[in-house]
Structure 1
Amino acid sequence: MSEVSVSELVRRTRERDGRLPFEIGAFVALETTEALLGRPARVGADDVYIQPDGQLRISAGEGVPDEESARGVVAVLSRLLVAAGAGVPPVLLELVETGPHSGRWSLAELRTELEASLVPLNRGAARRVLARLLREGDKRPPRSVRPPQPTDDVDADLDALLEGRDPEPEYLPTAQFQPVDAHGNPVVPFDQVAKKPGQRAVLKKPRPPTAAEAPDTLNDAEKDEIDALLDPLDRATPMVGIEVPAEARRSFDEAMDDAFDATFEAEPTPLPAAPPPSQRPPAKPAPAKSAPAKPAPAASS
């Protein structure tokens, strides 16, 4: 395991969807500031190296004024805080955005504010954490974790961090999943439902099936049950307009023939005989009709 620059450490951490504690970022900036005190030089994220034991090595460039060197250290700090995500203390965010509170850009002022943000400071523990981060960074990330990172994402993440909001997602998922509610049912936006009448919550009352469509709504078991109920009726009383099998027609014809034969072959029922004349009651004589009365002659005067 070899030493790794700050920019490489940040890249590996983000590839693994990990986070660098903001305390580690402030500690690296403090160690860099102390290494440059007395001999300020231009420094960036590619010039600060972390060794396997957690120690720092500064590969500084040409000498520059104290203010420019302090600004370079703050740039290294901002790069580390981007990998820290949310939860960075406001004092560090203000330091990255506006510089030291005194308004003077110098390595001494920067060192004072970094030490104040790390109280209590445990350098041994910080170096052990750095060494562990290096060991984890050496592990290969799983394949196809995400597409290559655009170069301007670091600036966008830093702006989001300084504004107090979370950075944008670093990559898009390979599959978009439909949101679901607490019961696992899919949630459909109202505008999508309004465009599709078939998906409205209130549907029109379905049209009752016609006689031709009704059998299609029954399953096989229901059809068999109905056929079993109608079969005796079809054999006893064939209906007009319905094709009746030949066997059923013969059964019906035979039943009708048997009925007619039984009717004509039965013995006739004898009628009661008329009584003899002597036993007949005498006929009552018809009443005589009276002649109409003649009118009286009119008297002469």
Structure 2
Amino acid sequence: MSVSISSPPTTALKPVPTLPPSENKANQKKFHGFVAGVTSGVTKLVVGHPFDTIKVRMQTSGADRFRGPWHCLTETIRKEGPRALYKGATPPLIGWAFMDSVMLGSLSYYRLILQGGDPNVRLTPFWSGVAGIGAGVTVSFIAAPIEHIKARLQIQYDAKTKLYAGPIDCARQLVRNNGVTGLWKGLSATLWFRSWFFMWWCSYEIYATQMRKYTNMSEAAVNFWAGGLGANTFWVFAFPCDVVKNKIMTQPDVKNPPFPSMVSCFKHIYRTDGLKGFYRGFLPCLLRAFPTNACALTSFELTMRWLRKIDE
């Protein structure tokens, strides 16, 4: 390690250690994922929030309210206008940028650890999935309150169901009624749901590897298609957990809620709707997942490559 010593004529200062250029670059790379994650989060909001609104409304309403996703979409626009599709968008506008920064930044960091500090080492799909679990658990503590507030705002259909003036008012009421921890209602379900990130990043690596091997697509195209397919693979496995999470988060804000635990929520869904109840809203989710995450992952990878180029 080199040492830089500044010694003016009258005052001798203590040696100040400096990192070699290679170590400085390694430290900078640890933060690339956090910076690039912001672009992913903003992209995800613009492309995906209308789909997310339909998904949450389908998940949390009874079968008698909407006949399907198209009926939910048309009824929402007819009764509340197109802007209703972006209800609850303020928390994820800030939250998704922050969440994707933490999620993709921690994913890059955990990958770097598993790579032994060498970003040129390619992880197997399994270890990419392990890094995904770490990222999912890490971001859950930030995602839970953001998704809690978002979901409550999304199910305000009209004046009769409107309980909150906006995200700040929603947060204020939740804290007033349940304390600060009330914002984190559904944290256990969020942790369980996001542990399925294993399937996302494991499958993403498989898809990307096969595309690079058998096609002549550009790297950006590989990122787009592998990102979309990986997201859809994740949702096939994780969707029932998301249904449970959103039902727990949007249940009445009372001392004795209908679903005090994930098990009680599971039993309720199965008892009232059977297995199909765990996949209410699945179609708009799947339609949303591909373009949203394909665009988000492409913007993330493009930003990562741009940051690496700057460091060279």
Structure of larger gyration radius: 1
TM-score by length of structure 1 reads 0.23
Q: Hey, which of these two has a bigger chunk of helix by percent?
A: 2
TM-score by length of structure 2 reads 0.22
User: Of the two structures, which has the highest relative contact order with CA contacts closer than 8 Å and spacing of 6 or more?
Assistant: 2
